[in-house]
Amino acid sequence: MPPLFLSPLIAVLISYGLHAVLDFRILQYFISSFFILAMCTLWVMWAWQMDFWRSFSAVCMAGILQVATSALAQLIFLMFPTDLGVNIAAMVISLFFSAVVAILLSMSCFGSWFRLLLEDQVNLYRITVLLFVLEVSMEVFFLLQRGVQGQYLVAYYILIVVLVIVISGLIVYLAHRFDDSRMLQAQQDIIAQQQFYERHLEDIRQEVRSFRHDYKNLLAGLFQQAGEGKLDALQSTLAELGADFDRHLGEKIQMSVQIGNLQIPQVRSLLLSKLADFGKKDVEWHLEVLYPVKAVGMNMWDFVRCLGILMDNAEEAALETERPWVEIVLLAQSGRLFLQVSNPYISVLDPEKMWNESWSTKGAGRGLGLPGYRHILEGYPNASSYTSWENGVFVQELVVED
Amino acid sequence: MIGIYLCDDDEAVRHQIQTALEWKIFLENYDMKVMCSAANARELLDVVESSKRGIYFLDVELKDSEWDGFRLGQELRRRDPHCTLVYITSYGDLAWRTFQYHLEAFDYIVKEPEQIGPSVSQCLEEIYARLLAERQDPAEMFTLRTGEIVRHVPLGDIFLFETSPTPHHLLLHTSNSRIDFLGSLNELEMQLGDRFIRIHRAYLVAADKIKAVDLKHNKLWAGDYECLISRAGKAELRKKMGGSR
């Protein structure tokens, strides 16, 4: 951090240094701009704890807006020439216009749209490149003011401002599109879950109907057996009644109960969609949620992401075996929540590699994998994990204290 | 003398189980006795203070607002850590993995009228066999707590302990598990003595699991895990290995 505080000083020194050394004004401008961009990126990374690409995007956007501010300032100069020392006037007017532009931006909620756009993980690099290219283009375009003849300058400056407004509009448009696609995805997820749940209930409904039918016949038989005094036959029929119920309806009702105990909407959503996926891929699943799960001692989305990673991994490993199955156990106790995901596996496991593989091996939409899981947990001292692999069963456990 | 305790609100079921148990005990001449047949959790808990390795047959669906089968099992496990828990269920589908893992429940029995007697008998036989096996000296264990779960890891299986990126957490590595838990390497070093060598601020390695040492590059391999050696660690190594490596 200390170097960060010194960086403005370093940037100033570098500009002066270049001034002395280089004659090529444009090259000098580029180099000092580059340093300023780098310095601002580092400041943003530190101040808002963002990663490099997002910070750089933000700084480029800021650069584009700054070009507009400078253009506006120059415009004012042109229209109202002043006798004050040029530098002081320049600073004052620039500051004034920066404030005006900032107020306009916050009133139009540009910031929240921009932040939203930065959440698009898939397209982040493209957005950064786009913003960088736009920033460089605008800066170069602005530099060209030296070549514009006097009477065209006003139009030139106005053009610059208009261009920046158009670029901002483009950014907001991209953010809108991203938002729409996210909503669409979320809706599709909800639909998939509802369908899964509906199918589950439909199965129960069918079972109830056929059970009612069989039940009536069985009862008639029992009535008759009782009338004829055939106690042994009676007993075995009664036993069969109970077993039949368990085999068909009982299990399904039990599963509804377990799912019903998931009282955190995001967790339930994720689980249902993963279970639906298991069903499609013929992976047997077993879910146990003995007590209602109402809260977790960590950020809900982090927990959901961890759960997703564990289930994805379990599914992937299980699919390599002959009879794939995944078992999920959630136990809510006062003060903590246990999560356990188990699956069979056949390939030889290398513990070091498993945890250290780079994130990208899983592919863009696939999620973060085990290293991502570990990274998330690093931020939670109240969470402990346990991993074991023996007898062909891989078990992942997570304990989160409140 | 091992005590057997029953808890189920259905008297007929308790009677059936007790009969089956007493018959089996008599037949096989087990050193066991049915101490209590309680209709509800409170009655049972009043009798059990801190028993020694009792056997408990508990109804899963106890109709008590404060004590359900699972909570009762937890309380019994707390009072009698080495007890055996057997659950009685009418549906045959309980959250068995949860009971098995968090309570170390031994088995469950389904309340089918014909089946109870033989199931109970069979169960008692298996419990007896397990109790016999337990009598032998258990291997030396390393115990760690994660909330309510107490885990025992055979000391001989542990390759190394290392600090975890999460503050105040450690990682334990065996050949087939990786456990993250709250702890401090300093405390462990003192607790575990000579079997483990502190080769680095972040690594505590099992002496008998060291596969290879590269002193020039300050690296060491415990099993397949690569660890760093610090200067102080090198001195520790030399001291404990007696210069033979």
Work out whether strand B141-146 and strand B225-228 pair parallel, antiparallel, or are unpaired. Answer: unpaired
Q: What average pLDDT is seen over chain A?
A: 83
Model confidence at A82, pLDDT cuts 50, 70, 90, reads: low
Q: Which residues on adjacent β-strands are paired with residue A380?
A: none
Closest of A17, A63, A71 to residue A38, by C-alpha: A63
Q: Please check the confidence at residue B153 and state whether its pLDDT lies above 60.
A: yes
H or E segment at B235?
helix B231-241
Residues on chain A touching B169 (C-beta within 8 angstroms):
381, 384
Distance from CA of B178 to the nearest CA of A (A): 5
Q: Which of B182, B224, B226 sits opposite A384 (nearest CB)?
A: B182
pLDDT tens track for B114-149: 788 888 999 999 999 888 877 666 667 788 876 667
Chain B residues in contact with A335 by the CB 8 A cut-off are 147
Chain A partners within 8 Å of B70 (Cβ): 290-291
Longest CA pairwise span in chain A (Å)? 121
Q: Provide the shortest C-alpha distance from residue A329 to chain B (in Å).
A: 7
pLDDT at A366: 44
Residue B180 and residue A286: Cβ atoms within 8 Å?
no
A237 touches chain B (CB under 8 A): no
Block residue for tokens 């959790």:
B41
pLDDT at A364 over 60: no
Out of B70, B91, B173, whose CB is closest to A246? Answer: B91
Q: Provide the 10 A C-beta neighbour count for residue B61.
A: 16
Q: What confidence score (pLDDT) does residue A331 get?
A: 93
Q: Between these two residues, B173 and A196, which has the higher pLDDT value?
A: B173
3-state SS of chain A is: CHHHHHHHHHHHHHHHHHHHHCCCHHHHHHHHHHHHHHHHHHHHHHHHCCCHHHHHHHHHHHHHHHHHHHHHHHHHHHHCCCCCCHHHHHHHHHHHHHHHHHHHHHHCCHHHHHHHHHCCCCCHHHHHHHHHHHHHHHHHHHHHHHHCCHHHHHHHHHHHHHHHHHHHHHHHHHHHHHHHHHHHHHHHHHHHHHHHHHHHHHHHHHHHHHHHHHHHHHHHHHHHHHHHCCHHHHHHHHHHHHHHHHHHHHHHHHHHHHHHCECCHHHHHHHHHHHHHHHHCCCEEEEEECCCECCCCCCHHHHHHHHHHHHHHHHHHHCCCCCCEEEEEEEEECCEEEEEEEEECCCCCCHHHHHHCCHHHHCCCCCCHHHHHHHHHHCCCCEEEEEEEECCEEEEEEEEEC
pLDDT tens column, A253-272: 777 788 888 888 888 888 88
> Is residue A330 over pLDDT 50?
yes
Residue B167 has pLDDT above 90, yes or no: no
Give chain B's radius of gyration (CA, Å). 24
Distances from the Cα of A60 to the Cαs of A8, A127, A167, A271, B58, in angstroms? 18, 11, 12, 40, 68
Q: Average pLDDT of A155-162?
A: 92
Minimal CA separation from B145 to chain A, in Å? 10
Dihedral sign (CA B32, B38, B40, B46): negative
Q: What is the pLDDT of residue A147?
A: 83
Residue of B nearest to A385 (CA): B180
> Smallest Cβ distance to A388: which of B92, B112, B176?
B176
A225 or B205: whose pLDDT is higher?
B205
CA A170, CA A167: separation in Å to the nearest integer?
Answer: 5
Nearest CA to B159 out of B151, B171, B169 is that of B171
Average pLDDT for residues B169-187, to the nearest whole number? 88
List, for residues B47-62, the tens digit of each pLDDT value.
Answer: 887 667 889 999 888 8
Q: Is A387's Cβ below 8 Å from some Cβ in B? A: yes
- Identify which of B92, B146, B181 has the shortest CB distance to residue A246: B92
Who wins on pLDDT, A344 or A120?
A: A344
Chain B residue numbers with beta carbons less than 8 Å from the beta carbon of A387 are 177-179
Q: Report the range of poorest mean pLDDT among A258-262, A297-301, A356-360, B61-65.
A: A356-360
For A94-114, the pLDDT digits (tens) are 888 889 888 988 888 888 889
Residue A65 predicted with pLDDT over 80: yes
Find the closest chain B residue to A329 by CA distance. B98
**SS3 call for B30:** coil
Q: What is the pTM of this model?
A: 0.65
If one compares A178 and A188, the residue with the highest pLDDT of the two is A178
- The predicted pLDDT at position A293 comes to 92
Output the pLDDT for position A367. Answer: 46
Contact between A324 and A282 (Cβ < 8 Å): yes
Tokens standing for residue A396: 């992942």
The tens digit of pLDDT for each residue in A19-53 reads: 777 667 777 777 888 888 888 888 888 888 888 88
DSSP SS3 for B121: helix
- With a cut of 70, say whether residue A349 has pLDDT above it: no
Strand partners, B152: B143
At which residue do the structure tokens 């089918």 appear?
A: B112
The bridge status of strand A393-401 relative to strand A336-344 is: antiparallel
Q: What is the pLDDT of residue A365?
A: 36
Burial A264-285 (b: 16+ CB within 10 A, else e): beebbbbbbbbbbbbeeeebeb
Query: At residue A327, does pLDDT exceed 90?
Result: yes
By CB neighbour count within 10 A (0-12 exposed, 13-18 middle, 19+ buried), where does A218 fall?
Answer: middle
Residue B54: how many CB atoms within 10 A of its CB? 21
Hey, what's the torsion of the CAs at A91, A95, A101, A107, to 10 degrees?
A: 180
Chains A and B form CB pairs within 8 A to the count of 95
Rounded to two decimals, the ipTM of the complex is: 0.80
The H or E element that residue B88 is part of is: strand B84-89
A172/chain B closest Cα distance in angstroms = 39
Residue B2 has what pLDDT? 87
What residues of chain A lie within 8 A of the CB of B181, using their CB? 384
Residue A401 has pLDDT above 80, yes or no: yes
The 3-state secondary structure of B177-206 reads: EEEEEECCHHHHHHHHHHHEEEEECCEEEE
Nearest residue of B to residue A339, measured between CA atoms? B98
> Is pLDDT larger for residue A390 or for residue A337?
A337
**Residue A55 burial (10 A CB sphere; 0-12, 13-18, 19+):** buried
The pLDDT assigned to A239 comes to 74
A contacts of B179 (beta carbons < 8 Å): 384-387
**Token code pair at residue A49:** 């704890």
Which runs of E-coded beta strand occur in B126-230? 141-146, 149-154, 158-163, 169-174, 177-182, 196-200, 203-206, 210-214, 219-222, 225-228
Query: Contact A246/B168, CB-based, under 8 Å?
Result: no
Tell me, what amino acid is at B75?
E
Band the pLDDT of A132: cuts 50, 70, 90.
very high
Do the chains contact at B91 and A254, CB–CB below 8 Å? yes
